[in-house]
Amino acid sequence: MILIEKIYKYSWSYDAHYRFFCVHNSCHQLMEYDGVENRGLYLNCVWDCSVDYDPSRPYGFSISSDSTPLLDDCSPWYQFTFHDDYEKAWQENCRTLNTGRPVIIALDRYYLPYAADFSRRHGAHAALLFGYAENTKKAFIVDWYPDEFYIGPVCYIDLRKARLSDNAWNGNINSGRELKCASLVLSEGIPSGGYKQVISTIDAIHNQYFSCEQSCHGQGALQNLLKTILDNSQNPPCVSLFSYLHRQLFPQVQKKILLDYYLEQASVFNKDMFQSARRYLHTVIYEWENILQNLMRLAYSEKQNKKILQDELRYSLQSVFSQELTLGIGLDELAAKLRKKGGFL
């Protein structure tokens, strides 16, 4: 049996800011275990957007963002792998465990007996693999999901199913994409995070959201999609369309909230420098949260009220996209100030 005893005995903490970002949470916890200072600054909180026109999805589209948990700055210390061959993935995982390092693995909670979603609904998730026992055919994991904490064994059969799952689409925002036995190995020795990582984050937001020239990516792609929906929704099946749009936009809003937490962590050493950008961001978050509420009102309102609500939604979207541009300028100004500081805390 291989078991990383220190992992089993460690007093794990949980930061609720990452409740919708389980891979981020696993990376954050592992970096905490390794004693990395300012570890939150290495997490990928880049605010981006991709619109995928996929006829297999409801209404022919889906909205997503980059789910990579760590910034490129952290690339020397981590390795992300995918496999169609479970046995090959498992052998690689075991080799890593044999060196004394845990592995962050992707799972479908539908197949995990300890999970509330067991045999109920599919959903991609991440947990920390820290041991295995060939004689009893069990693996050992740490899994901290909101309102749940589990540390202990999972039988090989259930683990295999959870890792090989096609994660069938069922309306859950974490369903609908194959897991492909994804594994992430994070090495020791990551230096303290600093302004360098904040600059990288802001630059990536600028390039991937505000200045992206690809038709299906960035602010322009999202604007075009939402305009098309509102302009062609005179007689839609509104309950499902607008509730589906709510589910698609919800993770985007959560990513903006996560960005605010990211900037809050970076501002500990100089709050004044970050104050203006965070104020702009708070306005944008407030507007997007109102838009989410309006989408649900549209979904369940009486037919005679829908035209008024759609006009309100159209105005709110125009307003928030304009406010985002102001925020983008504020973030670029913040990055310029940080560069003058030399990129370090």
* Domain contains 61: no
Residue range of the domain that includes 17: 2-33+83-181
29 membership: H or E segment, kind and range: helix 22-33
Confidence of residue 335 (pLDDT cuts 50, 70, 90): very high
Same domain, 144 and 208: no
Read off the amino acid at residue 59.
Y
Give the count of beta carbons closer than 10 Å to the beta carbon of residue 106.
Answer: 23
Same domain, 244 and 127: no
* Domain contains 187: no
Does 237 score more than 50 pLDDT?
no
pLDDT tens by residue, 175-191: 878 899 999 999 999 99
Residue that finishes a domain, picked among 155, 181, 207: 181
- Find residue 145's DSSP bridge partners: 148
Residue that finishes a domain, picked among 141, 156, 181: 181
From residue 269, alpha-carbon distances to 233, 265, 266, 336 in Å are: 49, 9, 7, 17
Positions of E strands within the chain: 2-3, 50-52, 62-64, 78-81, 103-108, 124-133, 138-145, 148-155, 183-186
**Mean pLDDT lowest for which of 21-35, 193-207, 291-305?**
291-305
* Domain contains 62: no
Residue that finishes a domain, picked among 148, 181, 214: 181
Residue 154 in contact with residue 139, Cβ under 8 Å? yes
Same domain, 24 and 133: yes
Contacts of 163 (CB under 8 A, 6+ apart): 86, 89, 105, 106, 107, 108, 179, 181
Q: How far apart are CA 328 and CA 326, in angstroms?
A: 5
Same domain, 328 and 243: yes
pLDDT tens by residue, 121-149: 999 999 999 999 999 999 999 998 767 78
Same domain, 148 and 295: no
Same domain, 170 and 265: no
Same domain, 228 and 142: no
Q: Count the domains in the chain.
A: 2
Does 11 score more than 50 pLDDT?
yes
